[in-house]
Amino acid sequence: MNLLVVLGHPNPASFNHALAHAAADELRRLGHAVVFHDLAAEGFDPGLPAGEIPGGASLPDEIDRHCRELAEAEGLVVVHPNWWGMPPAVLKGWIDRVVRCGVAYEFAGGDGGEGVPVPLLTRLKAVAVFNTGNTPPERERRVFGDPLERIWRDCIIGLCSRAEFHRRYFTVVCESTESERRVWLDETRTAMRTFFGREGD
């Protein structure tokens, strides 16, 4: 399988990096072809220029490559922290510039963009989103409504694909012990085996 792993965190010493590398390494061990993007390390520009907004716009080579990788992916893994109930800017910019009309979705003829998008990421079989945070899960749901679940499940993946969706929220990271983090990394590796299996199975 062609797997795409996208990491959105600026600190290479972060637990997000450990999670993303654990996922990518496990996927490679399972025999998959993995494209790994550490967006911050790569200097990905999150700003969406006006010229890129129209469908069919001419895209910079880097963005065109990201779009092709997404369109060809059979599985997607996204790792990022919960910052104000949103992904960090670098990842939000990747969504804006790469999860675009004509690549991830399109609108039915004559609907003027007002209806429900038609999914184009038809190759995607499974999507796993891993988030870290410092708000206890019960409070995240009760007070904030768990916005990252809505963003990824309903506003992005659910509109662009029919893929099986899995999301895991690791918290409270700032108070976590080394043993807890080891368990979380093992859980991430297990999720890769569960959702993506071994190539050829």
Q: Tell me whether strands 105-106 and 118-119 are parallel, antiparallel or unpaired.
A: antiparallel
Q: How far is CA 190 from the centre of its chain?
A: 18
- Note the pLDDT of residue 200: 66
Answer whether residue 136 shows pLDDT above 80. Answer: no
How far, CA to CA in Å, does 43 sit from each of 37, 62, 85, 94?
10, 11, 23, 11
- Note the pLDDT of residue 138: 77
Neighbours of 3 (CB within 10 A): 24
Give tens-digit pLDDT for 81-133.
999 999 999 999 999 999 999 999 998 876 666 678 999 999 999 999 999 99
Q: Are 28 and 35 in contact (CB under 8 A)?
A: no
Overall average pLDDT of the 57-83 stretch = 98
Strands (E), 82-158: 105-106, 118-119, 126-132
Among candidates 66, 48, 47, 60, which has minimal Cα distance to 5?
66
Q: Sheet harboring 126-132: ordered strands across?
A: 33-38, 2-7, 75-81, 126-132, 164-170
Residue given tokens 């059979």 in the structure block:
74
Q: Tell me whether strands 75-81 and 164-170 are parallel, antiparallel or unpaired.
A: unpaired
- Domain locations in the chain? 2-196
- Note the pLDDT of residue 112: 63
- Note the pLDDT of residue 111: 66
Which tokens is 84 given? 């104000």
Overall average pLDDT of the 162-174 stretch = 96
Contacts of 27 (CB under 8 A, 6+ apart): 3, 5, 34, 75, 77, 192, 196
Give CA–CA dist 198/65, Å, rounded: 26
Which tokens is 5 given? 């792993």
What is the CATH topology of the domain spanning 2-196?
Answer: Rossmann fold (3.40.50)
Give CA–CA dist 34/190, Å, rounded: 17
Helix, strand, or coil here: 198?
coil
Q: Which phi-psi region, left, alpha or beta, contains residue 17 (left: φ > 0; alpha: ψ -120 to 50)?
A: alpha
